A and B are shown apart, each in its own frame.
Chain A
Amino acid sequence: MLNNIAAFHPAAAALNSYESIATATGTGSSGTISFSSIPATYKHLQIRFLTRSTRSASSSNIFIGFNSDTTTGNYYGHMLEGNGSAASAAAKIGSSTSFMSATSAASNTSGIFSGGVIDVLDYANTSKYKTSRGLSGYDANGSGLMYLASGLWMNTNAISSIEITDPLGNFATGSQFALYGIKG
């Protein structure tokens, strides 16, 4: 059916508004990943990640914070989760972090990692509170979670650092995080 297909362009065409800023990896000995000294030269940020927790469970919730602010009351958020049989929702009201993802953890077969993408919008604007949204999940052929997240950081400062935490485990070897900047 190749006669039905047109405009096949194997050569890459670079789009110059999406750039890699930094990467980080899990070592198995820390439950925190930080990106610091984030330049204010982009419009939005995006973090793409592949994660697994060392927690002795099938999953572990991971959270996001900004500029090292862990003040209770500064973060709000919602999550919507599907576990393969039902959908559920939860909220964070006046918390110390925002929702980010539910990651695959140590009781799953080795090699099962979560994938995820989270966007932080208009992060350098100094007249707005900061919002984020995430899409992530893992499947383990019989178990798994699909996870949507939204977050609010009630602060107008430009975001210069991001802290990602797994409070109940560490990020396993093979976990990868990549921070990108998107120009406006």
Chain B
Amino acid sequence: MPATYDKIATQTVTGSNLLGTTGITFSSIPSTYTDFRLVQNLTLTAAAIGYIQINGDTGANYSRTSLAGNGSSASSARTTSANQIGTDIAHETSTIGTYTADFMNYSNTTTNKTVLIRNNNTAFGTEAQVGLWRSNSAINSIKLYLDRAEYYVVGSTFTLYGIKAA
């Protein structure tokens, strides 16, 4: 059987810290996979919310539902008609935080796009959330950025994997 879990691309912050409001973009994502997975391994200069925008769409076409735990209680929250998919829990600062996002059936042109996110912060908690992009377009690019002018610290990595069904 063929291998079906491929690395598509990796970006690493090197040299100097990267301004979070600028962020990074993966473009020309091939449409040849069934799903793709984003893995972020981050350190920031201060706590900040991570954002995703898809295909350069800055309109109010995003929403999300989250489920989070902060060490003492569980909670759920929602954002509607937003300009991006965010998180409840800020990305990590002094230690490495992990964040994964699965973009399900991202190249089909008959459904809105659903993104499953897991985000952990050793200081603040853990969360799972589902994001929606209200578009039937195939996803060919994603932009990752922060909600404020903090920085991605040198060594932060961003990797895309493609997962292909038979």
Contacts and interface: CB of A to CB of B under 8 A. Distances in A.
A37 interface: no
Given A111-B111, A137-B116, A142-B63, A13 B5 contact: no
A6 B114 contact: no
A160 to B, nearest CB: 17
B20 to A, nearest CB: 11
Nearest to A86: B76
A181 B2 CA distance: 11
Interface residues of B, number: 60
Interface string B37-66: 000000000000000000000000001111
A135 to B, nearest CB: 6
A148 B128 contact: yes
Nearest to A179: B165
Interface in A130-171: 135-142, 144-148
Interface residues of A, number: 58
B98 interface: no
A145 B9 CA distance: 31
A86 B74 CA distance: 8
Interface in A1-30: 1, 3-10, 12-23
B166 A7 contact: no
A7 B10 contact: yes
Contacts of A4: 13-18
A75 interface: no
Among the interface residues A8, A14, A144, A178, which one has the most CB atoms of the partner chain B within 10 A? A144
Given A4-B16, A174-B111, A178-B165, A10 B77 contact: no
A146 B136 contact: no
A52 to B, nearest CB: 8
Contacts, number: 199
A84 interface: yes
A50 B163 contact: no
B3 A18 contact: yes
Contacts of A145: 65, 130
A114 interface: yes
A15 B6 contact: yes
A180 interface: yes
16 contacts: A5-B18, A6-B14, A13-B6, A13-B7, A14-B5, A19-B1, A23-B165, A84-B76, A84-B77, A87-B74, A113-B104, A135-B128, A138-B114, A139-B64, A146-B65, A147-B67
Given A112-B111, A137-B65, 5 more contacts: A12-B6, A16-B3, A83-B65, A83-B76, A138-B130
